[in-house]
Structure 1
């Protein structure tokens, strides 16, 4: 497909751009296959605004007489307005933006065309993998093995080629277990706790159905995780009622009689449509310009976003307690195991493991638990809060994760090796990016589409010297202790840096924080010299 087929007007003079934090400016608008480029050359200045078309969530157009206005609502929550001279030109530009911003074929997206001059494509794509994690964890090797049963993705389409499983369970058994778990997502290790040898495993729901079918291999696998005298916990991210309802549609849960040494705990984490609608309500509240405090607080509460944050942190804390304090291994799953499951396992690892709190460790954790583990980014992040399309596969689970990490970062400012700027960058990149990291819905799709060979990796780029300095926390002091977050309502705050990032007040606050950060870095350099 030629992008030019969708561009009815490529260049237009005398366009007025209105955007947050800047006065209106007049200049030239250009449309390319992947970007909107606005150039302001008034009064001798030369300022450009470059907007990735994939960042556009919705547009609204209106015409009046011989001119028109296009309002662009972005996935990073910016709202821009273009005043276009000429009604026909306005309609042409609106059509071009609407069409090009909705391309859904991965190979047509900008990461496949992005070629920065200062570095080439990486030979090694990414920071982490099950293979690398296994090689680093020598303690695993006695009882656990690296299986390549999924090397051709035939056992589980959403898993990577290699996974970590109990040594006593052979590949033939794993294939049978996969058939008993939704989407083939059989239980695999995602975390080994060095202090006591306990593990976190994750999977999808079992499929006993209304007939209460059993799978001996599945029972054996979970039994192999724990010693005969020990017990384990299963944290189901659905309510007990939702799990019971799943039985009627072929799904279900692990029964007490078949998994006698495993205790099942239900902790409901919202996902899907409910979470997407919560985001929409929150963004609507943040855009309320009535300046009425009671109305604002009511809208904030009705969005239930902070309730979702509280539920996620609370459940992750429970998981960490089971492993860290009580010394038990845990299996986490919901229904599909690609959303809330990854959310909870990631947060629990941040709470327990100091290695996950460094800049490199955190990015490696995200790659292992989200990119490698099959979170369907292209489905979940297809739209943000402004889209007029009804939510289908969209759900801001990854954004919820970043909000929860920000709450941890705010409560433990010395324990995290990265800055808020990193979380903001990741929140933007997940929805629209120059990099291929968040393209596609699984490792299999990334291989098939050529993402790994033909695009740049965001995480590797963030660790390059020029970028790294921007995202490090200069106050970072590594601690071996677990960090236990407070989940009381008064301890959780709205993530202003993201949800109110385009307001003047938040902008001034961010500037002040950046100046303080620069001062700390200078003091450190002086102390070292």
Structure 2
């Protein structure tokens, strides 16, 4: 009745406007509502319907003859319509039936009176009056997903059964077919554009997220149809798959309930909107965050939290940036803290603190403590979803044209082609890991030594932690020395050995001994042996020299970052105390350790003369410090890795395809630890980026990318709209079809409009090795990372921008000078030629 009622209101208003009749809107609305009520109570509407059934009741021609309340039901379905229904309820008085607690009464079909005895159970074939949805579901045993409810009310008929009883719902919307046809016409679209108010904004999307309103609309029903006979086009065993969860056919549900099929009932897939306790918190005060203090509203969506400032709420009216919304991905939030505004029990307000994985802290003052707590619970839930199938990359719709598909830009075949140019007979591409049967953390294709069969690789995988047998990481074309990476050998307390693994390593040797570099300390390597791991023994690997580097354990690295961030955000500490806490955090010493280990690897490859010296790098599992060290060694040795494109290739090849468990390691940052993922969390990739940043500071002209590129990679590795860093390995990406359903980060980076912002204007290609200095005075605090939210960077940015413009102008002038020189040379040639011709004429 909702739509017809408002249709009557609109028609009446239109009539009064057309005939210049002045009226009071409130009185008109009340009068129409009273009239509608009266025609229901007096029965006038029903009398009119009964007097002309053909006009008001439309028989459905799609019903079969078998599917043929008295007048209306008999007219539509025939005199035996009661046989089609188990229970019949009249005078339900919707929507009170769904919201109230009216008891059922037995209806006397002969006298038309009601029996007032309490109804104990609903008997088949009887007619009942009144009642309520809860009692009906209980007495008829109709709860759970085995019920499919058809309704035509806009909200109550559909939403209440679904939310309260767990029913599946189907909406019958007769106008649907006509609306779909209309929406697909150009005339309709043009008319909508003509009447649409451009100030409204989007009702259905904010940024790339669906709004709370649109999500609620999607939750009203599992599916929609214009008429019930449409379902006859489907087989009785057909299963529908709406977005919310898998809707089984009623037949299969009945079979399962009766025990005829030994199958598990379907699990309801969580909807992000289910976790939103409060979609909007108004009149909050931003006390601390990415901009100055101001008032506004918090809008909580499935993937984002948005702060929308109030008009003229900023203390800086000249700064237009303060008037714009800012949003934070829920996945970027590391820790949520909610507490009362004061210790006064009569105080109603609350403080909502969000500590983000990029070290930003946002503090909001909320007027109502209940709203503060509800918002905190919502954000806590949405920022700690299990798995990643509900993550934003699967919902993100790319707003730019993809010119270079990042998923196809880098692969093993192209890397092998590059290596084969300098060593055509040394390596081959193996598909031993097809379907990830040998190693879950390796890609399906790897580069291995030529001459080693796949059977040897499979056996070696059983001897290496996690099945990570030796694979090629880098080949130095000048010295013909390769860098291989793998995981620790599973020697254990019993001193196991694997001849196949020994054969693989010995196949790398030529005329010089090889070097095995263990990124762990000697103590950690020995302790690993007691747990089933260990290191290569001299007896079994006599042609190899074993060296340890002593890089930090991942747990120590996590603690180090937490201390580093803690001292970075503490504005009250004195200078002496700040330096003392900085040193005790051990973050800078960890960075120095990684750089030193990478430099040792690079030195073994590049400085052992011209002999082919193979280097094998491993730590424990081979997915953390091993990848970090081999990647850094490439940054030191390979000029191509210092370009934007080459750096992307290195990250894709070594980190993403190489099996670094991003979902585990980056589940939390510096402010929190996960209940399950806590022992596995560590900022290994961030440490790598910090090491690269140290190199860019020591060799500012040798890297094509800017500091901003490294910062963006840091943020995207923790929370992103792109799918590149989702999952722990390629097997998980393939299982969840990440490459098919998300956009690669490299597709965004390589867009020309974006790429230009990452280019270092000071870059000059440098073919030399960039040997890093690891002296204490050379290792700096990455201020843009750790002090990003504590300092005002306006002046620094202005200076950098001025330097960029100066450099660009210098290049323009240099180019112009070169062009003028060429013109001068051409003019001098012409003058010399003219003089020569003139001399010839004089001689003649």
Question: TM-score, normalization: structure 2?
Answer: 0.61
Question: How much has 1:269 moved relative to structure 2?
Answer: 1.0
1:271/1:339 contact within 8 Å kept: no
2:701/2:763 contact within 8 Å kept: yes
Q: Select the structure with the greater relative contact order (CA < 8 A; seq sep ≥ 6).
A: 1
The corresponding residue for 2:454 is 171
Which of residues 21, 26, 40 is equivalent to 2:309?
40
1:12/1:30 contact within 8 Å kept: yes
Question: Is it true that 1:136 corresponds to 2:405 in the alignment?
Answer: no
Question: Is it true that 1:30 corresponds to 2:30 in the alignment?
Answer: no
Mind listing any 5+ residue stretches in structure 1 that lack a counterpart? none
The corresponding residue for 1:354 is 639
Question: Is it true that 1:365 corresponds to 2:628 in the alignment?
Answer: no
More moved, 437-446 vs 14-23: 14-23
Distance 1:469 1:502 in 2: 25
1:173/1:217 contact within 8 Å kept: yes
CA RMSD of aligned residues (A): 1.7
The corresponding residue for 2:683 is 396
Pair 1:108–1:513, CA change in 2 (3 A)? same
The corresponding residue for 1:269 is 551
Question: How much has 1:289 moved relative to structure 2?
Answer: 1.6
Distance 1:124 1:83 in 2: 42
2:404/2:750 contact within 8 Å kept: no
Q: How many residues align?
A: 528
Distance 1:76 1:408 in 2: 22
Which protein shows a greater Rg? 2
Mind listing any 5+ residue stretches in structure 2 that lack a counterpart? 1-269, 342-346, 817-844
Which of residues 570, 591, 603 is equivalent to 1:288?
570
More moved, 238-247 vs 483-492: 238-247
The corresponding residue for 1:468 is 755
The corresponding residue for 1:18 is 287
2:277/2:378 contact within 8 Å kept: yes
Distance 1:128 1:409 in 2: 24
1:20/1:503 contact within 8 Å kept: no
Question: Is it true that 1:410 corresponds to 2:697 in the alignment?
Answer: yes
What are the Cα deviations for residues 420-470 of structure 1, in whole angstroms up to 9, with x where unaligned?
000111111111111111100001100111111111111231121111111
Distance 1:513 1:19 in 2: 26
Distance 1:457 1:21 in 2: 27
Matches within 5 A, 1:480-499: 480-499=767-786
Question: Is it true that 1:430 corresponds to 2:699 in the alignment?
Answer: no
Distance 1:188 1:491 in 2: 33
Which of residues 459, 463, 478 is equivalent to 1:180?
463
What are the Cα deviations for residues 303-332 of structure 1, in whole angstroms up to 9, with x where unaligned?
000110010000100000000011421000
More moved, 298-307 vs 507-516: 507-516
What are the Cα deviations for residues 72-115 of structure 1, in whole angstroms up to 9, with x where unaligned?
11000101011112121111111111111111321100011111
Question: How much has 1:500 moved relative to structure 2?
Answer: 0.4
2:405/2:746 contact within 8 Å kept: no
What are the Cα deviations for residues 2-51 of structure 1, in whole angstroms up to 9, with x where unaligned?
11111111123212123345321112221100001111142297411111
Which of residues 446, 450, 456 is equivalent to 2:743?
456
Q: The residue matched to 1:205 in structure 2 has which SS?
A: coil
Question: How much has 1:525 moved relative to structure 2?
Answer: 4.2
What are the Cα deviations for residues 335-371 of structure 1, in whole angstroms up to 9, with x where unaligned?
1000000010011001011011011111111111100
Q: The residue matched to 1:264 in structure 2 has which SS?
A: strand
Question: Is it true that 1:76 corresponds to 2:358 in the alignment?
Answer: yes
Distance 2:594 2:794 in 1: 28
Which of residues 327, 332, 338 is equivalent to 1:61?
338
Question: Is it true that 1:94 corresponds to 2:376 in the alignment?
Answer: yes
Distance 2:584 2:406 in 1: 46
More moved, 369-378 vs 38-47: 38-47
What are the Cα deviations for residues 263-287 of structure 1, in whole angstroms up to 9, with x where unaligned?
0001111132111000000011111
Pair 1:113–1:312, CA change in 2 (3 A)? same
What are the Cα deviations for residues 474-507 of structure 1, in whole angstroms up to 9, with x where unaligned?
1111111101011000111111110001122455
Distance 1:513 1:217 in 2: 56
Distance 1:512 1:451 in 2: 41
Which of residues 378, 397, 400 is equivalent to 1:118?
400
Matches within 5 A, 1:284-323: 284-323=566-605
The corresponding residue for 1:212 is 495
Question: Is it true that 1:513 corresponds to 2:800 in the alignment?
Answer: yes
Question: How much has 1:140 moved relative to structure 2?
Answer: 3.1
Question: Is it true that 1:7 corresponds to 2:276 in the alignment?
Answer: yes
More moved, 115-124 vs 367-376: 115-124
